[in-house]
Structure 1
Amino acid sequence: MADLSAEEFERRLREHQSDEEKRGYERYFKTGSDRFIGVRMGTVFELAKEFIDLPPAEIERLLDSDVHELRAGALSVMDKQARRKRTPPERRTELYELYLRKHDRIDNWDLVDLAAIHVVGGYLADRPRDVLYELARSPRWWERRTAVVATAYFIKSSDLDDTYGIAELLLGDPEDLVHKAVGGWLRAAGDKDPDRLRAFLDRHAAAMPRVMLRYAIEHLDAAQREHYRALR
């Protein structure tokens, strides 16, 4: 593709606008600052495949937009670049640094989930992970969500320490969208090591927010689920 620019990405995306989709997004997300133009996410992701070589400077221009679908497109491109085996280490570093530097633009649950695993978690796989604990202590809930979502990359190889360490930090979190992420990632960690999940729940189930506990115990058998629900 000749024109790998944020401007061309936006032009192509706007070809697929729909008022019906726009109304659906506005009902679903209920966000104050986001603006929706009504493009299906499947279309956003397909276009991101075509723009997989978009340079970081152009990705940043998309992230600076107030249009939700454009920011989602930027993060989908980042994710695809991070997943691609032939992406050079320097680009992986650029993507990671861009994600953290522009985290104020990655401020909804779907935006976090699009790129945190491979852009952040993948980058940190063989590096110190202190930044995740800093994010877990952030006053911004979307940064706290990144902290736990990024650990999905480690869970794949049964590296579970950071998932549990960050989950402990977030047990008292006030935000439902953080509760859901923590519970979901505890469930995934439990799929790798059920005994460790049960040990965590034995210590913490009584104090866990309801939705966090519900997500965490979904893959346990009925008797175990009832036991941990009763602890609350």
Structure 2
Amino acid sequence: MTLEDALTALKTHEKPGHAEGAAAYHKVPRSYLGVPNPEINELATEWRRTLTLQQRLTLADDLWQTDIHEARIAAAKLLTQARIRPSDEPVWHLLCSWIADFDSWAIADHVSKAGERRIMADLSRLDHVEYWTESPHMWTRRSALVMTLGLTRLNHPNAEEAAARERVLGWAARYVDDPQWFIQKAIASWLRDLSKHDPERVRAFLDKHGEDMRGFARKEAGKNL
């Protein structure tokens, strides 16, 4: 499948007025086709089923480089998969190469879902992710938390997973005085999700760092406690 084929397929699902609404909502100057997410998901699912891994990698990067909103979301969905054979290294490297381009939460979150699966498949990748925590690019710093959300959902983490969870909580602790709304929201979401599985650890975090968090973030983090 070529890039032109993929864009043509996306455009067949355009909804009148949807592009204008998306542009107004996301407030990022780029092209919007007006294709709802369910239709993008259906197309990406079919492409994942029929294309080889190398074909998916090529198409995903071609879609990403268009800077079209729906094309970038489709690119992320093409690479969102729990197990990738024979090696997921090319997928991980491609996802990481896109992070510097992040400028909106919707696209960033779709890529982060793909990245989360690659991190959970190989926790040694946290060594690379840790560099993101020092980035001047807010969306890169945010990705260190959003891409590691899989660690919050473990009911019975093994020793490696528990250590990884504590490592990310250490990053969150360093973020608490970051004034950026999206960073505060990412901290809150990480803690809120973790509280469903380890409420005592979240209470301990909030006891120590809660006063340094923005009010809305502290409230969201403790929502389930």
- Bin of the TM-score, shorter chain as denominator length: 0.7 to 0.9
Which residue number corresponds to residue 56 of structure 1?
Answer: 57
Provide the rounded CA distance (Å) in 1 between the counterparts of 2:138 and 2:86: 29
Which residue number corresponds to residue 198 of structure 1?
Answer: 203
Asked if the contact 1:163/1:189 (under 8 Å) is kept, the reply is: no
Provide the rounded CA distance (Å) in 1 between the counterparts of 2:125 and 2:99: 20
Counterpart of 2:20, as a letter, is R
Which one of the candidate residues 93, 103, 117 is aligned to 1:107?
Answer: 103
Are the structure 2 counterparts of residues 122 and 128 from structure 1 closer, same or farther at C-alpha, using a change threshold of 3 Å? closer
Following superposition of structure 1 onto structure 2, how do residues 80-229 of structure 1 map, counting pairs within 5 Å? Answer: 82-83=81-82, 85=83, 87-90=84-87, 92-120=88-116, 122-123=118-119, 125-157=122-154, 158=157, 159=162, 160-220=165-225
Counterpart of 2:108, as a letter, is V
Are the structure 2 counterparts of residues 214 and 187 from structure 1 closer, same or farther at C-alpha, using a change threshold of 3 Å? same
Which residue number corresponds to residue 43 of structure 1?
Answer: 39
- How far 1:101 moved relative to its partner? 1.4
Asked if the contact 2:56/2:79 (under 8 Å) is kept, the reply is: no
- Structure 1 residues 210-219 or 42-51, which shifts more? 210-219
- How far 1:95 moved relative to its partner? 1.0
- How far 1:214 moved relative to its partner? 2.1
Runs of 4+ in 1 over 3 A off after TM superposition: 123-126
Tell me the C-alpha RMSD between the 2 structures: 1.8
Provide the rounded CA distance (Å) in 2 between the counterparts of 1:110 and 1:163: 22
Asked if the contact 1:145/1:181 (under 8 Å) is kept, the reply is: yes
Counterpart of 1:60, as a letter, is D
Asked if the contact 2:17/2:34 (under 8 Å) is kept, the reply is: yes
Counterpart of 1:35, as a letter, is S
- How far 1:217 moved relative to its partner? 0.9
Which residue number corresponds to residue 226 of structure 1?
Answer: none
- How far 1:108 moved relative to its partner? 1.9
TM-score, normalization by structure 1: 0.83
- How far 1:109 moved relative to its partner? 1.2
Question: What residue ranges of structure 2 are gaps of 5+ in the alignment?
Answer: none
Asked if the contact 1:118/1:153 (under 8 Å) is kept, the reply is: no
